[in-house]
A and B are shown apart, each in its own frame.
Chain A
């Protein structure tokens, strides 16, 4: 393994130290990785979440070194793998190294000899709280994002409604025109003979609602 085949970086996020490990982690030469990871974690306080998003390869030896790094952090800080590509997760699962704070199946939960179980328990609880905090901030960000998208959708819906209204008006006008042209025989022409009743007959017939008039129109 060359020195730059694995990248290690620690960043502080919501009071949690996120240790980002990316690239290829081979067991051979992983001691240098362990030292760099230790130094990176030492620079930031708080529980440690290990982010393996950028990890492209890990072998059994690399996984064992990563496991050892996580179990022996300075100050006995707790660590857990937070983000892990499915490929890496599968390898860790086959190896029996879940690395996410759970004790591997069939193992004793006590890992450091002489450490009271209660201290371990407190560390684990603190880690879970940190994870929950990180999750909450992620959820808030998602919520804001959803709100922005929703506003966009509402705006689009308004536009669509407006277009719908216009289309409806156009289709109504079209229907009106079609109806008129059907009634008139030819667009713009009047019927040759019209029967007018009551008021239609004109102001003279206002007083007599029973008035009838026949109008002959010239064909235009």
Chain B
């Protein structure tokens, strides 16, 4: 099973519903499926905001995990290192209250990679029962932002 969808600012609600359906079909429980939808919504919203107003989402099940890739054509994260925002003030700030912070709190694994001219983020949710929900809610370990959180809002 796989899902591939193009999105823009107007289609984010439909994207969330499609993601929940896909996540449930992949075997994730309702709460965890909502986590997937929220994480991908945040990445999609970032792509819309900083990546030229639109982007692409792909979801596939690989090796007992749901792998989701959100990519855009820039200019948002263009020129960033492989992990924009991780300890640096990039266009997608990783700090409490922000979308990327939420993504790292929800997903089991987050990987950033520069795409062709844009950016590409892959988030992974493990499908084994229990492992996902245990991980859920944890803030990124060893984050530089835990002490400096809250500034700016």
Contact = CB atoms under 8 A, between A and B. Distances in A.
Answer yes or no: are A and B bound together in one complex: yes
Interface in A122-148: none
B137 A93 contact: yes
Contacts of A96: 96-97, 101, 149-150
Given A24-B13, A91-B38, A93-B137, A60 B102 contact: yes
Interface stretch (A42-50, A61-69, A166-174, A183-191): A61-69
A95 interface: yes
Interface residues of A, number: 27
B106 A28 contact: no
Contacts of A63: 97
Interface string A93-109: 11111000000101110
Interface residues of B, number: 27
Interface string B21-48: 0000000000100100010011001001
Given A67-B153, A87-B31, A90-B137, A97 B45 contact: no
Contacts of B97: 60, 63-64, 67, 95-97
Contact of B153 (A64, A90, A106): A64
- Say whether chain B's binding surface is mostly helix, strand, loop, or mixed: helix
A68 B97 CA distance: 12
B83 interface: no
Interface of B: 9, 12-13, 16, 31, 34, 38, 41-42, 45, 48-49, 96-99, 101-102, 105-106, 137, 139, 146-147, 149-150, 153
8 nearest interchain CB pairs? A96-B96, A107-B150, A94-B105, A60-B99, A60-B102, A95-B97, A60-B98, A104-B150
